[in-house]
Amino acid sequence: MGENKEQISPTHDSENPSSSNKSHDIIRRRCRRRILYCGCVAAIVGVVILVLALTVFKVREPIITMNSVNVQRFHPNKLNLTVIADVSFKNPNAVSFRYGNTTTTISYRGSTIGEVPGPPGVAPAHRTKRMNLTMDVLGDKLLESPNLLTDVGAGSLGVGSLTIIGGRVKILGFIKHHVDVILNCSYTFNISTQSIPDHSCHQHVKL
């Protein structure tokens, strides 16, 4: 019986095209309903993820701590000096923080005396990354400053550094959020001990 029906239906369809259109319509409607259903589910999942991202996975700013600052090389007749900053970078987020090139600008009395490029990297979630940043201070530029002699006479130099870290956090693997961390530090360089006993940093974050 089934075979008979199959044999009859093609001829029937060719004589009566409206019935084939009807079955196509049903399939199309079913498809549309399925797409609509899938779309709704995707939208609901999207909303849930967004709520999670804004609450549980709330993007928090990274915490940067300057552990110590050391002057590696300082010759009285050569003003170039190398400063090594031991920096901890804590990522309090449940997501990893990927950052690009960093730039640290060193200034003395408002003029730039050195620039330190930093390599890009990743700060894993809930982890602290520790690194040594090497800063070269250009003595020639330092010498151009009219305040240098009085500062040297006083025994200390006030040096500032500005670090800009541009990064991106990725939430649940696909929601990306841009974060800019600006670290503004000031140091007091003691010439007689050739050390930096004092430093203070201010952090500013742009989400």
Ligand X SMILES: *[C@@H]1O[C@H](CO)[C@@H](O)[C@H](O)[C@H]1NC(C)=O
Judged by the rule CB under 6 A, the positions of this chain that interact with ligand X are 78-80, 86, 100-101, 117, 130-132, 138-140, 154-156, 162, 184, 186, 190, 192-193
Look-up of token digits 């640290």: 104
Q: How near is the Cβ of 53 to ligand X at its closest, in Å?
A: 25
| Phi (first) and psi of residue 157, to 5 degrees | -120, 135
- Give the integer Cα–Cα distance in Å for 199 and 196: 7
- Taking only Cα atoms into account, the Rg of the chain, rounded to an integer number of angstroms, comes to 32
Q: Checking DSSP bridges between strand 128-137 and strand 78-90, what pairing results, if any?
A: antiparallel
Q: How near is the Cβ of 171 to ligand X at its closest, in Å?
A: 22
Judged by beta carbon, residue 57 or residue 163, the one nearer ligand X is 163
- Give the integer Cα–Cα distance in Å for 206 and 204: 7
Q: How near is the Cβ of 170 to ligand X at its closest, in Å?
A: 17
> Under DSSP, is residue 125 helix (H, G, I), strand (E, B) or coil?
coil
Q: How near is the Cβ of 190 to ligand X at its closest, in Å?
A: 4
Judged by beta carbon, residue 20 or residue 80, the one nearer ligand X is 80
Judged by beta carbon, residue 117 or residue 146, the one nearer ligand X is 117
Judged by beta carbon, residue 3 or residue 140, the one nearer ligand X is 140
Q: How near is the Cβ of 161 to ligand X at its closest, in Å?
A: 9
Q: Name residue 115's beta-bridge partners.
A: 105
**Which of 121, 55, 128, 126 lies closest to 95, judged by CA?**
126
Judged by beta carbon, residue 39 or residue 120, the one nearer ligand X is 120
